[in-house]
Structure 1
Amino acid sequence: MVEYTFVNVIAVLVGLVFLANGLYIVREGREAIFLFLMSLVVGTGLIVVGLYPDLFQFIATLLGLELKARAILVISNLTLFVVVTYLLNRIGRLYDKLSRLNEQVSYLRTELEEMDD
């Protein structure tokens, strides 16, 4: 029989928060599909792991690892890698958009000043 601990409860609650965040994104009408999918995957993953804690032992065996702690580290590091890569890419694109917006505002300000003269 599986023994559930306080950590399992926390994992399920955090998973529910991720799912709620995904629903919030959809309701707000934002078109961040990747963000919604990541919230869905991470939330569902946390809930499944919280409900079935021995799942990582199966994953460890599947990956050829001795300990389930190593499987947890591998999966969490891969997930973090994907999220950080996405965020860095997103930051770069937002920086470019901000630069273009500043150029346009500067151009419009110059035109306005010329019209006032």
Structure 2
Amino acid sequence: MAMVYDYSLVNLLALVVGIAFLFNGYVIVRSERESLELFVMSLLIGAGLIVVALVPNVFQLVANVLGLELKARAILVISNLTLFVAVTYLLNRIGHMYDRLSRLNEELSLLRSELEEQRIDFEDRQDD
């Protein structure tokens, strides 16, 4: 039984955004500047968007598995779960960045203090 899908501009946009997420994941890995978690998140979101773009009725299957009557409810559940994971990850990253920034500020203050002491010692030696 061949399934015929009704594609729209939304499907095209989802496909483009999904490919952009996959490309972003590739760039992250290639440049080795970010963590594995960010790569996996980009990969999952990109792949999910591509699947939704190519198989629009996938949410009907999700609705059936979750025991929901409407496909729209399945879309909302999956979207909310995805947003929850993304926000939790980003809040975690912000916390880590805040800790790193605090440590960097402490180190910078210590270096400034040490530099000032060395400058004063150098000036004292010049005066002698």
Which bin holds the TM-score, normalised by the shorter protein? over 0.9
* 1:108 aligns with one of 103, 106, 111: 111
Tell me the amino acid that sits aligned with residue 42 of structure 2.
S
In the TM superposition, residue 32 of structure 1 has moved relative to its aligned partner by 1.0
Mark the structure with the bigger radius of gyration. Answer: 2
In structure 1, the partner of 2:52 is 49
- Kindly provide the amino acid, as one letter, of the partner of residue 42 in structure 1: I
The Cα of 1:30 is off from its aligned counterpart by 1.9
Shift of 1:3: 1.0
The CA distance in 2 between the partners of 1:21 and 1:77, in whole Å, is 22
Q: Which residue of structure 2 aligns with residue 65 of structure 1?
A: 68
**Please, which runs of 5 or more residues in structure 2 have no aligned partner?**
121-128
Q: Residue 29 of structure 1 corresponds to which residue in structure 2?
A: 32
Measured against aligned partners, the alpha-carbon deviations of 1:40-85 in whole angstroms (never above 9, x if no partner) come to 0000000011000011001001101111011011001101101100
Q: Show structure 1 runs of 5+ residues with no match.
A: none
Instruction: Report the 3-state secondary structure (helix = DSSP H, G, I; strand = E; otherwise coil) of the residue aligned with 1:3.
Output: coil
Q: Residue 35 of structure 2 aligns to which amino acid in structure 1?
A: A
Alpha-carbon separation, structure 1, partners of 2:91 and 2:34: 18
- Give the deviation of 1:116 after TM superposition: 1.1
**What is the identity, as a one-letter code, of the residue corresponding to 2:109?**
S
Q: TM-score, normalised by structure 1?
A: 0.97
**Match of 1:30, SS?**
coil
- AA aligned to 2:26 is L
Structure 2 match to 1:89: 92
Corresponding residue pairs, total: 117
TM-score normalised by length of structure 2: 0.89
Higher relative contact order (CA 8 A, sep 6+): 1
- Provide the identity percentage: 64
